Chain A
Amino acid sequence: MRTSTEKLINYIMLSFFAILVLAPFLWIATIAFKTQIDIMMMKIIFKPTLFNFDKLFFSKEATFFRDIFNSLFVGIISTLIILVVCSMASFTMIRTKISNWITAVLFLWVIVFHMLPPITFVGSWFQMANSVGLFNSRIALILAHVTVNLPLGLLIISSFMRDVPTEIQEAAYIDGCSNRQVYLKVMLPLLGPGLFATAVIVFLFSWNDFMVAMNLTAKATQTVPVSIATFSQQYEVRYGEMAAGSLVSLVPALILTFFAQKYIVKGLTAGAVK
């Protein structure tokens, strides 16, 4: 870009796409603050009301606080499990001498599983959960989310693992550290940013999941996306609550994107097959 006209055209193009991305969110934000009548009348100028949020959280049949708790609980626990499982496995596969075929098979299977449609597995998870009495339990959903997001976790952590200089690890061995000590005292601290990037992405994907949660939970354990979807299924679509619930469910992503944009970009790029 050398001439200022080129620069201008470039900014105009980017702004155009930016508006395309933003407009739908602004639109749903206005809907969330409208009454059902204002929504139907397509009023551009309206008196903002918190009516939808009030109904979403405090009406008699409201479950939204519990839904949020379920989503947070499942998201946080499954993220922690993924961090532990994937960082240990990644360290052993990438940073210790181990038969190549074990690493190759594990990585290949993880990548293939990452690409397969998850619905092909959900049926079996449902049957398995049922047969051990775990249907409609948060444990079943946590295990399913660990499985679904494990590939992303492993790929992201591994790409950060490769960036840790080997000299530090070798120095630790010379000082007499065992693999376990190297993992706990050297690698984990050095992997801090990588673990953070992984945690943010994996948590968001768990928070966002609808399909697995819908099939493995019932009313008491349903997560936020499942709850939002139910607003569209009643006899009369409850647009206001759907919009209000949607708006609330955007909060974690907005906060995390704001504070951790750099890590998310790095993590998402690392998680893609290269």
Chain B
Amino acid sequence: MNTKDKSWKILSLIPIIAVLVILTLVPLVNIFYNSFFDIRWDDGKYNYTYIGLENYIELPNNKFYLPGLINTIKLSIFAVFFQMLFGFLIALGISKIKRGKGFFISLFLLPILLPPIVIGSIWRLMYGFDFGIFNYLLSFFGVFPLDWLGSSSLAFTSIVIVDIWHWTPFVVLLLLAGLESLPTDVYEAARVDGTSGWNEIIYITVPLMIPTIIVTMVFRFILSFKVFDEIYLLTQGGPGTSTEVISFSIYETFFESDNMGLGSVMSVVSLFVVSLLIIIVLNVIRRVNKYAN
């Protein structure tokens, strides 16, 4: 291939590098810098007071951050588990049918492509105490109305259910792509040997799919750490801290309480934790790909 044309290569990479440096690297440096200051908004400008590590020392005492971090991890684990389970069933189902495939795929695309805030609105209406559909349906069975979002024992489960509903389709998509790229000759050989439907799934499909399953699972796990919109609309982290998540704590501290120093520390710590997980995840993905090839 052509090796000359140096000016083109530089010019074509300048925009992406500019965006990444100015809008991702500078912000990283900025929050790290912020984290050593007490920042107050006064007379139309920010006043920075250097306080060393005080923000960091204060973080464990913050009522919201640590419970939020634990909730985020819990939410990721529970939600991803069910997403994988339902996602695999649905993907398997779709891969086996011939008629109506496009219809089902379009349908299962919807939750990923619609505004999360709408998903929040819909579920908020459905979870409603007085006139939500769930309590309405329960009333037919003589069950007393449940406070889906307002009781600390139930709110977390309610959020997990929404997350499963929201992201299972994404798992379906990735697993379906994996299923459709499986070698067909193995199945033909099994059929000649007279393998039945269930045995085929358990002894052929699942083992062949393990690399895809692992990659999808760890990828989904990391991305669940971004959850914000639904929490904002459904519970605002409450009641108490039962549905608090890291993104919401950072938002609250930085934008609502105007404590930019502490908010920056939360960001720094969150970035550190998520980066550690990303290193693990990328390693897992690399190993799985190596094994698969």
Which residues in B have some Cβ–Cβ distance to A below 8 Å? 1-3, 5, 8-9, 12-13, 15-17, 19-20, 23-24, 26-28, 30-31, 34, 46, 86, 89-90, 93-94, 96-97, 102, 104-118, 120-126, 130-131, 133, 136, 165, 169-170, 173-174, 177, 197, 215-216, 219, 222-223, 225-226, 228-229, 232-233, 246-247, 250-251, 254-255, 260, 263-264, 267, 270-271, 274-275, 278, 281-282, 285, 289
Give the docked Cα–Cα distance between A273 and B214 (Å): 12
- Choose, from A52-60, A62-70, A224-232, the stretch at the interface: A224-232
A42–B282 alpha-carbon span in the complex (Å): 49
Beta-carbon contact of A269 and B130 below 8 Å: no
A18 at interface by CB-CB < 8 Å:
yes
Q: A116-B275, A229-B117 are in contact. Are A92 and B12 (CB under 8 A)?
A: yes
A21 touches B121 (CB 8 A): no
A40-B130, A119-B247, A173-B1 known; A128 and B16 CB under 8 Å?
no
Complex-state Cα separation, A256 to B270, whole angstroms: 35
CA A226 to CA B252, docked complex, whole Å: 16
Q: Which residues of chain B are near A183, meaning CB under 8 Å?
A: 8, 12
State in angstroms the CA–CA spacing of A95 and B13 once bound together: 13
Identify A180's interface contact among B5, B86, B110, B123, CB under 8 A.
B5
List the B side residues contacting A3 at CB < 8 Å: 197
In this complex, which of B96, B105, B118 has the most chain A Cβ atoms within 10 angstroms of its Cβ?
Answer: B118
Contacts of B126 in A (CB 8 A): 24, 27
Q: A11-B97, A117-B270, A273-B219 are in contact. Are A225 and B30 (CB under 8 A)?
A: no
Known A-B contacts A14-B90, A113-B24; A169 and B1 likewise in contact (beta carbons under 8 Å): yes
B5 touches A21 (CB 8 A): no
Interface membership of A47, Cβ < 8 A: no
Bound form: Cα–Cα A150–B18 in Å: 12
The residues of A that contact B216 with a CB separation of less than 8 Å are 272
How far apart are the CA atoms of A116 and B223 in the complex, in Å? 8
Say whether A224 contacts B115, CB under 8 Å. Answer: yes
CB pair B285–A6 under 8 Å, yes or no, is no
Do the beta carbons of B260 and A210 come within 8 Å of each other? no
| Residue in B12, B112, B122 with the greatest tally of chain A CB atoms within 10 Å | B12
What are 5 A-B pairs with beta-carbon distances under 8 A? Answer: A24-B126, A123-B27, A143-B23, A182-B2, A264-B113
Kindly list chain B residues whose C-beta atoms are within 8 Å of the C-beta of A125.
23, 27
Chain A window 248-274, contacts with chain B (Cβ cutoff 8 Å), 1 for yes, 0 for no: 011001101110010011001100111
Is A208 an interface position by the 8 A CB rule?
A: yes
Q: Chain B: interface secondary structure?
A: helix
Q: Which residue of chain A lies nearest to B162 when distances are taken between CB atoms in the complex?
A: A24
Contact partner of A179 (CB less than 8 A), chosen from B2, B197, B285, is: B2
| Complex: chain B residue closest to A224, CB-CB | B115
Contacts of A116 in B (CB 8 A): 271, 274-275, 278
- Complex interface: chain A residues within 8 A of B111 (CB): 21
Beyond A18-B104, A127-B260, A264-B109, list 8 extra A-B contacts (CB 8 Å): A2-B197, A24-B123, A120-B250, A211-B232, A211-B251, A250-B115, A253-B115, A272-B174
Are A253 and B12 CB-contacts (below 8 A) given A14-B90, A21-B108, A42-B131?
A: no
User: Which one of A21, A39, A210 lies within 8 Å of B229 (CB-CB)?
Assistant: A210
Scan A107-130; emit 1 where CB is below 8 A from any B CB, else 0. 001111101111111111111100
B31 in complex: contacting residue of A20, A123, A246, A268, CB < 8 Å: A123
- State A2–B270 Cα separation when bound (angstroms): 50
Residues of B near A250 (CB, < 8 A) are 114-115, 118
Q: Which of A2-37 contact B (CB under 8 A)?
A: 2-3, 6-7, 10-11, 13-14, 17-18, 20-22, 24-25, 27-28, 31
Q: A42-B131, A123-B254, A125-B27 are in contact. Are A27 and B125 (CB under 8 A)?
A: yes
Tell me the complex Cα distance, A250–B285, Å: 34
Q: Are B118 and A22 in contact (CB under 8 A)?
A: no
Cβ of A147 under 8 Å from chain B: yes
Given A40-B131, A85-B15, A265-B105, A95 contacting B1 (CB threshold 8 A): yes
Asked if B117 contacts A89 (CB within 8 A), the reply is no
Q: Are B228 and A258 in contact (CB under 8 A)?
A: no
| CB < 8 Å neighbour of A232 from B233, B247, B255, B270 | B233
Rounded to whole angstroms, the CA-CA distance of A272 and B170 in the bound complex is: 10
> Please, which residues of chain A bring their CB within 8 A of the CB of B105?
261, 265
A120 vs B30: C-alpha distance when bound (angstroms): 11
